[in-house]
Amino acid sequence: MGRQRWRSSGLTFKPDSLGVGRGLQAKIRCDEASKNTERYTMRDDYKQCAQCDEIAPGTSEFCRKCGHNEFHELSPGLASKLEAIETLANSESLRMEAGRLIIASVLSGGLYIFYWLYITWKQLAKETEEEHFPVWHALTWVVPVYQLFRLHRHTTVIQSLATGAGVPTTLNPSTMVALALASTGLGMASLLAVSPGVLMLLGLIGIAVTTTIIVWSQGALNAYWVTRHGDKLRSAPIGAAEGLIVLFGIVVWILTLA
């Protein structure tokens, strides 16, 4: 490999978009590590004009803004800013910790599964290279019987990705479908519940079952994400829909308990 000037993990630019195509192309040709020539980091390969502080590629002879021909290294502040941008640009925000899922699922009274089905199906679209319709997919959770097929599909995708990546997993689509059936059964039983106490109990068990489906499946998915992205893996940001569904659940909780 020899000396490898271009790092494979960095902000990517099309050289021409910076208007410095020629200089960079020449530099790329000199590089032995041809595999990595398409990606390089700003921090390593850029400098700043000594007169106007314009950022210029390392190969520039003159500043394209003011024409000055002296340069200095990127200032520490700018370099660390760029480093932070690089880190962010390279990170994959996909992980969802069990604690977050449990809290959200319980607070939302089990409604969180809609969001979970939506967000993970959306994330998985990249992996399956199939067209995913996350919103419709999530909404199928209200369709009796069909919901079971969709959940089966959802967990099959996760299971096969994990298995394919060599992640040992206990996730089993049939078990998830059985849990979903149990949750439906609890829902139907609650229609016949005679006392508020029984109703509450059935509701709580139903929430526990739904939460189990989410946490179990996400466990396998998190393990897969680690094999796929390693150190670049970050937690998924809290979505607006996620916040709303939990907030709605809290209101329902308050009305139920009041």
Q: Which residues bind Zn ion (CB under 5 A)?
A: 49, 51-52, 54, 63, 65-66, 68
Q: Which is nearer to Zn ion, 71 or 116 (CB)?
A: 71
Helix (H, G, I), strand (E, B) or coil at 73: strand
Q: Which is nearer to Zn ion, 64 or 100 (CB)?
A: 64
Q: Apex CA 129: angle with CA 126 and CA 135, to 5°? A: 65
Minimum distance between the CB of residue 62 and Zn ion, rounded to whole angstroms? 8
Residues 6+ apart with CB under 8 A from 207: 105, 106, 109, 110
Minimum distance between the CB of residue 128 and Zn ion, rounded to whole angstroms? 49
Minimum distance between the CB of residue 23 and Zn ion, rounded to whole angstroms? 16
Rg of the chain over all Cα atoms, to the nearest angstrom: 26
Cα distances (Å, whole numbers) of residue 139 to 1, 125, 182, 216: 51, 17, 19, 21
Q: Dihedrals φ, ψ of 231, to 5°?
A: -65, -20
Helix (H, G, I), strand (E, B) or coil at 82: helix
Minimum distance between the CB of residue 55 and Zn ion, rounded to whole angstroms? 10
Q: Which is nearer to Zn ion, 63 or 117 (CB)?
A: 63
Q: Which is nearer to Zn ion, 65 or 126 (CB)?
A: 65
